[in-house]
Structure formats: C-alpha cells, structure tokens
C-alpha cells in the first residue's frame, strides 16, 4: 500500500495539521472532508483520489528518483542556466490538485501555490467552521485570492481579525481613520517601490503570519502582484547548499527599505524600538512543518558568523531562488479583488509597471509567532 493511503490522523493541536509533512506525496483531503468521522477510516473515494494521484505522479516520475531525473537537466549559456522539468514540485502540485473543501471551492492557479476561492462573501460574518476551513486552505495553497468582494475598511479589518490580532506598521502610511490598514496609494507623483521579492516586516522580532490585501483602485494593465513559494525555493537547493545553510542565522533590518523615511530624534527612537533582529535562514512553518527559505532582499542584511564577502555571495545566491518562475503565481487585480498570503510560506513582489497610473490598495497584517528552525 502506498504510504499516502496510510496517512495518519490529523495532529491534535489548536489547528489540525492540514498539510502532509514535507516529503510525503499526498495530502489529507479525505480527513478534511469528513471531519468528525473515524479519522483512520479510508473510504472508496479516498482510495480513488489517492490512486489517481499516484498514477499521475508515477507518470511524471517513472524512476521514482527525483535526483536521477534532475541529473538529466541541461545547462545553457555562460551563466550555466539549468533547463528542464522542475521535478521536485510534482508531489506538492498533485497533493493540492486532490484537495476538496466543504464550504467553498478553490481553483488552483500555480504549481504549488495560489488558490482562487469561490462561494464566499467576505462582507458577511462567516461561521467559525468556515474560517477554520479557510485557514487550512490558506496553509495549503499559501496564498488565496478572492474576486468581487466589496468591503468597507471596517469589514476588511473584521475579516482579518478572524485570523488573529492586527499589526500597525510604524513606517508606512496608514489609512487615516484605521491605522490597522497600511494604505498603498500610487500615482504619477508616488511610484511603486514594492517591486522586490520580500516577506513583510521580517525586521520585527515577530513578523506577521499573513496579510490580506484589498484592491481599491487599479490600473487597467499592469500592477500585478507575484508570489513565490519559499518551500519550493528551499527544496530546489542542491544538497550541498542545504548543508551549508543548515543552522545559519541572518540579520534583518528595516533601514535599507525605510531608513530614508525616518529623521532626527525619530531615528534613535525607532532603532531602540526595532533593533536589528536575527532569524534562522531556514525556518519551519508552525502549522505545515515545511522548511522555508527565509531571507529576503528588502530586509536581510547579513548572515551571522560569515565574513562580509562570503555572506554577500551566499545571500545573492539565496535571494536569486525567488526568481524561479516555476515557483510563482501572480494575480492581476480588479477593484475588490483580495489576496491573502501566508507571510512565512511565500515572498511577494508588486510589479511596478503601471506608472503614472493610479493604484490604491489597503493591507491588514496579522501578528504571527517568532520564526524557528
């Protein structure tokens, strides 16, 4: 019997562990569909879904050995660009494809991340079981998208609060009446400066666990937001590189991104309030348990214990992992679209290709837990 068929019952924490541990091949949609039933029982439906998924997986990976398959890739050009199937995505892609949900539908958009959720009106107070299921889907797909959600600022905040306490950003402009919402208002005078891969606020000791971004006014073309799966980015590293970064810690600092906005006495006050912090270079997701590459171009400044040149070289290599297109999905915004990302599992990048058009967005960020090895 395939190990997936014997997938154990969910763990008993505050949140069910909705995602199979890293390295397993298939998820537990059967567990999720029949919450409350005997968790170890396997039905015909489960077997059918599982068998179909295994057959697909076997078709993609006939030798069963991703290492061998990767060895058949080609390298092109002076930079030795690697060309060929990104085989390590297959298991997670197939796992997501097999998921089913009780209170809404999700259409998967990227190989290993991104789901468009249909069937919910976020302006309504949603029942606890819907929020619980949405939280599990959020962990699985890493970023969820919604269309046509006409929310007021209050409704946006109310929805975000269902997932935890909200942060107030000390450097970015906030909504005048509701400081829990960061307001990104771009036009011909104020261009977009969010076009670099980053997790939000990793300069905090406890960075946000997620963010919910709502489009208010968007350009006809351009202004998309892109997302990168940082578990795929970690798993795509060579074994040598994985060994090299194991146990390393990096510094994160707001100065590069926001230093220019702080003047005079505020500078010393902010430094005292937000000292340079350290986070592991590879963290584990508190719910899925997946390893995630956790350094980003905006806020990570140095790897602790390495000579500056070695630290810079390693960071350049690690930052570049987020450029791999197969790890991405992207959203083209309409007014009233919403993106809800897991700020540990993905980095994001707001394409700044719409100047001098207007683009107005508001973001609520949910307080997380301190990232750990």
Ramachandran bin of 84, using left for φ above 0, alpha for ψ from -120 to 50, beta for the remaining angles: left
State the binding string over 350-369 for ligand SIN (x if CB under 6 A, else -). x----------x-x------
State the nearest-atom distance from the C-beta of 207 to ligand SIN, in Å. 12
Nearer to ligand SIN, 46 or 200 (CB): 200
Q: Which of residues 139-198 bind ligand SIN (CB under 6 A)?
A: 184, 194
Q: Please state whether beta strands 143-146 and 115-118 pair in parallel, antiparallel, or not at all (unpaired).
A: parallel
The answer to whether residues 80 and 12 touch, using CB atoms and an 8 Å cutoff, is no
Q: Any idea which residues carry the catalytic annotation?
A: 198, 200, 348, 363
CA distance 94 to 108: 11
Which residue stretches of the chain are H helix?
A: 29-33, 44-60, 66-71, 90-97, 128-141, 153-161, 230-235, 239-245, 255-258, 264-273, 308-320
Q: Can you read off the two tokens belonging to residue 42? A: 């396997």
Q: How many residues sit close enough to ligand SIN to count as binding (CB under 6 A)?
A: 9
State the binding string over 196-215 for ligand SIN (x if CB under 6 A, else -). ----x------------x--
Number of neighbours of residue 279 by Cβ within 10 angstroms: 24
State the nearest-atom distance from the C-beta of 198 to ligand SIN, in Å. 7
Which residue stretches of 106-218 are H helix?
A: 128-141, 153-161
Nearer to ligand SIN, 93 or 348 (CB): 348
* Residue 225 binds to ligand SIN (criterion: CB under 6 A): yes
> Which residue of this chain has its Cβ atom nearest to ligand SIN in the complex?
350
The answer to whether residues 170 and 322 touch, using CB atoms and an 8 Å cutoff, is no
Q: Which of residues 311-350 bind ligand SIN (CB under 6 A)?
A: 348, 350
Nearer to ligand SIN, 192 or 280 (CB): 192
List contacts with ligand SIN (CB under 6 A): 184, 194, 200, 213, 225, 348, 350, 361, 363
């Amino acid at each position: 019997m395939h190990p997936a068929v014997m997938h154990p019952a969910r763990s008993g924490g505050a949140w069910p562990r909705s995602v199979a541990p890293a390295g397993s091949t298939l998820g537990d949609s059967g567990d999720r569909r029949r919450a409350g039933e005997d968790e170890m029982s396997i039905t015909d439906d489960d077997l059918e879904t599982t068998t179909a998924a295994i057959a697909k997986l076997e078709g993609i990976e006939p030798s069963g050995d991703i290492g061998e398959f990767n060895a058949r890739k080609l390298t092109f050009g002076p930079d030795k660009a690697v060309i060929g199937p990104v085989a390590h995505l297959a298991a997670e892609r197939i796992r997501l494809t097999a998921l089913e949900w009780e209170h809404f539908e999700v259409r998967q958009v990227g190989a290993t991340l991104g789901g468009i959720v249909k069937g919910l009106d976020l302006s309504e107070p949603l029942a606890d079981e819907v929020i619980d299921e949405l939280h599990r889907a959020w962990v699985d797909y890493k970023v969820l998208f919604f269309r046509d959600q006409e929310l007021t600022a209050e409704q946006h905040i109310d929805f975000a609060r269902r997932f935890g306490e909200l942060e107030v950003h000390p450097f970015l402009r906030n909504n005048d009446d509701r400081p829990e919402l960061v307001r990104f208002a771009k036009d011909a005078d104020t261009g977009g400066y969010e076009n670099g891969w980053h997790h939000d606020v990793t300069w905090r000791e406890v960075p946000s666990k997620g963010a919910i971004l709502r489009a208010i006014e968007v350009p006809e073309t351009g202004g998309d937001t892109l997302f990168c799966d940082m578990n795929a980015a970690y798993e795509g590293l060579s074994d040598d590189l994985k060994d090299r970064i194991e146990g390393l810690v990096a510094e994160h600092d707001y100065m590069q991104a926001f230093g220019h906005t702080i003047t005079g006495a505020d500078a010393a006050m902010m430094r005292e309030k937000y000292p340079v912090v350290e986070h592991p270079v590879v963290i584990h997701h508190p719910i899925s348990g997946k390893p995630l590459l956790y350094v980003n171009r905006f806020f990570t400044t140095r790897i602790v214990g390495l000579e500056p040149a070695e630290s810079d070289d390693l960071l350049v290599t690690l930052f570049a992992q987020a450029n791999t297109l197969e790890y991405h999905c992207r959203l083209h915004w309409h007014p009233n679209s919403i993106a809800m990302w897991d700020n540990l599992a993905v980095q994001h990048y707001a394409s700044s290709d719409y100047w001098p058009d207007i683009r107005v967005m508001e973001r609520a960020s949910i307080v997380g837990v301190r990232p750990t090895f």
